[in-house]
Amino acid sequence: MFGTRLAAAMDEQGPLCVGIDPHEHLLAAWGLPASAAGVREFALRTVEQLKGSVAAVKPQSAFFEQYGSAGVAALEETLAAARDAGLLTVLDIKRGDIGSTMGAYAQAYLDPASALAADSITVSPYLGFGALEPAFELAAAHGKGVFVLALTSNPEGAEVQHAVRDGESVAAAIVSRVRQRNAQALDSADELGSFGLVVGATIGTAAADLGFDPSDCGGPILAPGVGAQGAGLAELRAVFGDRALESGQVLATASRAVLGAGPDGLADAAAALNRDLRAAD
C-alpha cells in the first residue's frame, strides 16, 4: 500500500517532499534554456541530488506539459529516474472529471503499465467526490496513492471550499469522504491510509474555523507552502497540531526554498529544511 510505503519513507528520510517546479526563472538561474531539454536536465539533476535524502518528490506536470510532447517525455524520464532512485513520487496533476474521462486519467497516471505512472497523484473533487471513483479503484488495485484537494492556500479557493451545505463545509465533507475510503481499505486504525488530502501549510486557522481537523482523514496530508511561501514548523503546528506532525501524517512540501539554492546547493538546502521539520518528531 502507498500509505505504508510513504510512512516508512518519512520515518527514514524525514517529512520533506520537494516539488520539481521548473519555472523559467529557475531554469535561467541554473543556466538552462526554457525548453523541454532544459526542463529535462533540471528535473533529472534534482532527482539525482535528492536521492536518499527526502521521502518524496512532487513533479508539477504543467511545467512539463507546456513544452508539448518533448516536455511530457521529460516528465516520463523524471518519474522513471525517481523510481530508480528510490524516491516516492507525487505527480501534481489536479485532475478531476467524470465517467470514462476520469477513468482514462487514472489509467494514465496510476496504471504501472503507463510511462506516466506515479506512486501517487493529486486530484480535484469539485465535479463531485464520487466522480473520483476510478482513481480510487485503480490506486487501490495497484498500491498507489491519491491526494484530494481539500483546503488550498489560494484566496480564490475559499469561495468553494469554505461554502457550507446542511451545516457542513465543502472542505469538511471532503475530509469525511476520504476518511470513509481509508476505513474501507485499512486493516488497522493505526495504519496510514493511501488516500489523503492537500491542505495548504499557510491556511492558518481555516480548518479550525470551519470546525474540523484535517488529520481525521486517516491518510497522509500533502502540505504545500513550506519555505518560500512562508510556512515553517510553527505554521505547520498551527494548521495540523502536534498529533499529526508527530505521527508522521504530514508530508510538507517545498519547492523554491530548495530549488532556488541551485543544482550544487539544493541537496544541502533540502537537508537543512528537513532537519528543521524533523524537530516536530
Q: Which of 51, 58, 94, 144 is catalytic?
A: 94
144 included as an active-site residue? no
C-alpha cell at 256: 523554491
C-alpha cell at 125: 473533487
Distances (CA, A) of 251 to 105, 129, 155, 205, 278: 24, 22, 22, 19, 11
Q: Which residues are catalytic?
A: 94
